[in-house]
A = this chain, B = another copy of it.
């Protein structure tokens, strides 16, 4: 016998969970489409060299292996690098290219609470325009998605990579210590001023300079890039209380070149639910020519967790509306006919698929599955050409003609 189990960090989604995920995903996708984005799908397996050199030190988490043809291949690690490859590979795609992509990615993370080795990313990106209209639309979409999902209070943090660099350099941080210093300042909220100074000093930055850095960031004002985005958002009629300039925001990935974003849901402490930014130099690695690009990615599991915490997840166990029970072997045909009629009307209908189960067992099954109604069709009903419609939550049962069932369930 084989022990039925999944490898650590991998998950099965049983029907009720899978349905909830589908519903939430469909809501997010509807927002992307409302803003004029179309879907893209890329393969699970890419040549390893397509992915390498893009993710910084996290590169070690790529699931890489040698295939039967002795090629080094790797599982999709994110959706930004595949998008970049696609843009370079199909130059005929009209630009700006606006695409969304909702596929699984794989990372050999140490599995822990809320961290998985296979998880869904929900990305949207605009390639081929460096306009500030793109930069503000990305922020606007993050906001529209969070609203669509029912979140009342959230903050979309905005910053600019060039601004981060400028602030570091003008504070006197040595050119080759800037990246490290940015990593430290990113932790300001987590480890506090003293913690950041200590960490910077540990990186070889003089204490005086580290103090100067703190001061510059505390007094930082939006640069022109950030300011134009804020202005455009205002022009678009957005509620500006959700958009916040956050000079210490850094974002991990190496490939950002301009504006960066992160979204936080109020009351949800497990981290940001969305992040992104401009990456004008990534596609050039595949195409030889640079294409300006900007986009963001929702961590689907984080989004669901936040929705769950705030009671925003839809309660759904099945899409089935009614179970047509089987009263006895003689009446199977009657039940099948009724079920056929309901299905013809587009009503999701399940027939109990056993001819010798007791009625009680059949109703218990409907309950366990979360089916809201059951139809019972005994000899009396068959004769009168009616059915018993039972509401399984109120336990109310009424003898009605089939037409009434259709009206009630559509």
State the A residues within 8 Å of B (CB): 1-8, 10-16, 18-19, 21-22, 33-36, 38-47, 49-50, 63, 65-69, 71, 73, 75, 85-86, 88-90, 93-96, 98-99, 104, 106, 108, 117-118, 126, 129, 131, 133-134, 137, 144, 232, 235-237, 285-288, 318-320, 323, 326, 332-333, 336-337, 340, 343, 346-351, 353-355, 365, 368-369, 371
Known: A2-B286, A4-B85, A336-B235. A18 touches B38 (CB 8 A): yes
Q: Which residues of B contact A14 (CB under 8 A)?
A: 40, 86, 90, 93
* In-complex Cβ contact of A7 among B1, B45, B336, B348 (8 A): B45
User: Bound state CA distance, A65 and B118, in angstroms?
Assistant: 16
* In-complex Cβ contact of A49 among B2, B348, B354 (8 A): B2
Q: Do the beta carbons of B41 and A235 come within 8 Å of each other?
A: no
* In-complex Cβ contact of A98 among B3, B39, B333, B350 (8 A): B350
Residue of B nearest to A66 (CB): B65
Known: A286-B1, A353-B126. A12 touches B131 (CB 8 A): no
Q: Do the beta carbons of A15 and B39 come within 8 Å of each other?
A: yes
Q: Which residues of B contact A1 (CB under 8 A)?
A: 285-288
User: Bound state CA distance, A348 and B126, in angstroms?
Assistant: 16
User: Bound state CA distance, A49 and B1, in angstroms?
Assistant: 10
* In-complex Cβ contact of A118 among B44, B134, B137 (8 A): B44
Q: Do the beta carbons of A38 and B318 come within 8 Å of each other?
A: yes
Q: Do the beta carbons of A41 and B63 come within 8 Å of each other?
A: no
Q: Do the beta carbons of B96 and A353 come within 8 Å of each other?
A: yes
Count the copies.
2
Residue of B nearest to A11 (CB): B43
Q: Do the beta carbons of B236 and A337 come within 8 Å of each other?
A: yes
Q: Do the beta carbons of B287 and A4 come within 8 Å of each other?
A: yes
Q: Do the beta carbons of B12 and A39 come within 8 Å of each other?
A: no
Q: Which residues of B contact A332 (CB under 8 A)?
A: 133, 235
Question: Could you pull out 16 A-B pairs where Cβ atoms are within 8 angstroms?
Answer: A4-B85, A5-B89, A6-B42, A13-B40, A13-B42, A18-B41, A33-B348, A35-B348, A35-B350, A44-B44, A44-B106, A45-B106, A96-B354, A126-B353, A133-B326, A236-B340
Q: Which residues of B contact A288 (CB under 8 A)?
A: 1
Q: Do the beta carbons of B43 and A134 come within 8 Å of each other?
A: no
CB distance from A65 to the nearest CB of B (A): 4
Q: Which residues of B contact A236 (CB under 8 A)?
A: 336-337, 340
Known: A1-B285, A12-B42, A40-B13. A237 touches B133 (CB 8 A): no
Q: Do the beta carbons of A40 and B68 come within 8 Å of each other?
A: no
Q: Which residues of B contact A34 (CB under 8 A)?
A: 343, 346-349
Q: Do the beta carbons of B94 and A369 come within 8 Å of each other?
A: yes
Known: A12-B43, A34-B343, A354-B96. A235 touches B7 (CB 8 A): no
Q: Which 7 A-B pairs have the closest CB atoms?
A: A36-B350, A15-B38, A10-B43, A65-B65, A4-B89, A13-B41, A4-B88
Q: Do the beta carbons of A118 and B286 come within 8 Å of each other?
A: no
User: Bound state CA distance, A134 and B352, in angstroms?
Assistant: 9
Q: Which residues of B contact A129 (CB under 8 A)?
A: 353-354
Q: Do the beta carbons of A319 and B33 come within 8 Å of each other?
A: yes
Q: Do the beta carbons of B333 and A235 come within 8 Å of each other?
A: yes
Q: Do the beta carbons of B99 and A15 come within 8 Å of each other?
A: yes
User: Bound state CA distance, A129 and B46, in angstroms?
Assistant: 42
CB distance from A90 to the nearest CB of B (A): 7
User: Bound state CA distance, A133 and B332, in angstroms?
Assistant: 9
CB distance from A392 to the nearest CB of B (A): 13
Q: Which residues of B contact A348 (CB under 8 A)?
A: 33-36
Q: Do the beta carbons of A2 and B343 come within 8 Å of each other?
A: no
